[in-house]
Amino acid sequence: MTAASRAVAATFGGTRSQLTRLADAAAALAGPNDGEVLVVRGLGTAGINRAASMSVKLGRRRLRAQVLGPPPEVLEAAHRTEPTISLVIDLSSSGLGDADLLAAHLSVPLLTVDDEYSFLPGEEATVVERTAAAMAISSSDSNDVALAQATISPFGVEPSAMVVHIDHQLIRLANPVIRVRLRHSFLEVDASADLSMRHFRGPRCRLEPVAGQFIITLDGARKAELNGPLQVDVRTRRYTANLHHP
């Protein structure tokens, strides 16, 4: 455990409110310099109010808070955040979810409430290493990542066609809309083409346009024209989770 992590664990003791403890822990993680924190809020009015209170407490500790709503806003943030983000605070109470993916993608710590290690005597917080999987997207133009879904769809008036290479199969599809998702460290590929639906599964896939034009959309946010073959692989990244016991 690093010195910063020990400081975080130490801040959780006492009778302070849960949000105050989280804010103190965030200040310890962010260090002496001003930083920006992404706060993933819960649902409804209660979630909005709780995130607003968290923002005020962070501001008193010289931390700027950017509040993110429920999906897809959390995933979209992965494609538009600045490198000044210090950490992610998860107030959504959703367990392992989008906030974890965001922290792993940004390579910053996650601070959340979790009872996974609450059985440990005399401990108010636990610091653990976790892993999260995402999709590495590579082509001749660029390298990118999708946290939840990549969609490849035709545009324009010309007929289109795509060849899908996955799990030792080679399938040619006419005018397809292809959605690639990650499930249990495997790619789930759904292809809608010519009024039919095809489903494929494998550890990686290659999508090769052979006619027409295609647009790729990552997590519903980032869009770009596809100019050649697209390789999709599973990428696993480590991140630190600071778990505050309820």
Q: How far, CA to CA in Å, does 236 sit from each of 47, 108, 147?
A: 30, 15, 11
Query: Do the first three CATH levels of 3-133+237-244 and 136-236 match, i.e. the same topology?
Result: no
CATH number of 136-236: 2.60.200.30
Rg (CA), the chain: 21
19: enclosing H helix or E strand:
helix 18-30
Please state the length of the chain.
Answer: 246
For the chain, which residues make up each domain, given as ranges? 3-133+237-244, 136-236
Contacts of 240 (CB under 8 A, 6+ apart): 5, 109, 110, 127, 128, 129, 130
pLDDT by position in tens, the chain (length 246): 455 544 444 444 445 688 998 999 899 888 766 678 999 998 889 999 999 999 999 999 999 999 998 777 888 887 777 677 889 999 987 655 888 889 998 889 999 887 666 555 556 678 888 898 999 999 887 788 898 899 999 988 888 999 999 988 899 999 999 999 988 889 999 999 877 899 999 999 999 999 999 999 998 877 888 889 999 999 998 999 888 777
CATH of 3-133+237-244 among 3.40.50, 1.20.58, 1.10.8, 3.30.70? 3.40.50
Residues 135 and 84: their CA atoms lie apart, in Å, by 23
